[in-house]
Amino acid sequence: PPIPPRPPGYELKTLANPPLPARPSKQKLQQQQSYLPPPPPSPAQHPQSQQSTFNQLPQWQPQNPLSNASQPSQWTPLFHPDGTPTPLFEALTADIWKHLDSGRTGHITPEVFSAFLDVQGFLLENNTWKANHKPNTLGMYTAEDIADFKLKAACEAWSFDHTVVVRSPGRPQLPYGGMPLLSLRGLTDMMAVEYAADPDQSTQWLNAALRYYGVWPALVPLPRDALLRARPAEVQDRIDKASVRSQRTASESMEATRVRNEIAAQGRRNALELL
């Protein structure tokens, strides 16, 4: 079954995972003013950051970025019994990541992440950014603004590591919005939840990704027994708590936005009365 929606604001303690591969640093990116969405991502341009100096993140260039150097000799379990990823799953995600982050920026855009889900065959309803990328009634905001808002809400509700940036500087910004850029750690945690929650379907998803990106070709197809037998109770508990708390936070955010809009409208009416 699909993971429940994850609206904004709820911070859920993440499960303790083994350390992710270190990202070496070589040289700093140049300062830029605007965003050019991939594919492929441009290492020379990045949007302005709301929560960090994203345009100052270091650039790194692995010696053999697509060499499958971490390919093991055989499959072993990708998850611990409680649903947390094993080092093998982290190594697999890191090799897939090299194809997603082709500009070696350390982050991927919502478009790239959404395309990654499409490659695997995720249903539209489980592809949060794509499902919400459609015309809206709020004329001052774009389809990208709304889709970014929904994906950002999921990242925040589940504490998936990400950086929030401004997609289009100079345009009106959606309250509580911004464009979320997933890190390798964030992608690893997010996909671990997806795969552990639906291990039967995950075999098909992962094999599609392995074939499409050419990752670990000597080990394709991934066998079913490399995944969990069923959804762990710990993962189900995390899903349930996220759903309840994030729905409450979403209601609070909507109410705060309504009050702010009413105050702004009253201010405009008062100004007109003074004319």
Q: What is the pLDDT of residue 262?
A: 73
Say how many residues make up the chain. Answer: 275
More confident residue, 51 or 85: 85
**CA within 13 Å, CB half, 274:** 6
Q: How confident is the model at residue 272 (pLDDT cuts 50, 70, 90)?
A: confident
How far is the C-alpha of 80 from the C-alpha of 76, rounded, in Å? 11
62-71, 146-155, 165-174: which has the minimum mean pLDDT?
62-71
Average pLDDT over residues 262-269: 72
The pTM of this model reads 0.69
Q: What is the pLDDT of residue 132?
A: 92
Are the beta carbons of 130 and 147 closer than 8 angstroms? yes
Kindly compute the dihedral angle of the four CA atoms of residues 57, 182, 189, 11, in this order, to the nearest 10 degrees: 100
Are the beta carbons of 158 and 245 closer than 8 angstroms? no
Q: How confident is the model at residue 30 (pLDDT cuts 50, 70, 90)?
A: very low
Q: How confident is the model at residue 70 (pLDDT cuts 50, 70, 90)?
A: confident
Average pLDDT over residues 252-264: 65
How far is the C-alpha of 99 from the C-alpha of 108, rounded, in Å? 10
Give the pLDDT confidence of 182-229 residue by residue, as tens digits.
Answer: 999 999 999 999 999 999 999 999 999 999 999 999 999 999 999 999
- Site of tokens 């998936």: 160
Are the beta carbons of 94 and 104 closer than 8 angstroms? no
Rg (CA), the chain: 20
How far is the C-alpha of 28 from the C-alpha of 38, rounded, in Å? 20
Main-chain dihedrals φ then ψ at residue 49, nearest 5 degrees: -95, 145
Give the pLDDT confidence of 88-128 residue by residue, as tens digits.
Answer: 999 999 999 999 999 999 999 999 999 999 999 999 999 99
Task: For residue 172, give the nearest of 144, 135, 133 by alpha carbon.
Answer: 144
Which pair of structure tokens corresponds to residue 83? 């649903």
How far is the C-alpha of 271 from the C-alpha of 109, rounded, in Å? 41
Q: How confident is the model at residue 273 (pLDDT cuts 50, 70, 90)?
A: confident
In the chain, where does DSSP find H-type helix? Answer: 87-100, 110-120, 128-131, 143-158, 184-197, 199-213, 233-273
Q: What is the pLDDT of residue 52?
A: 38
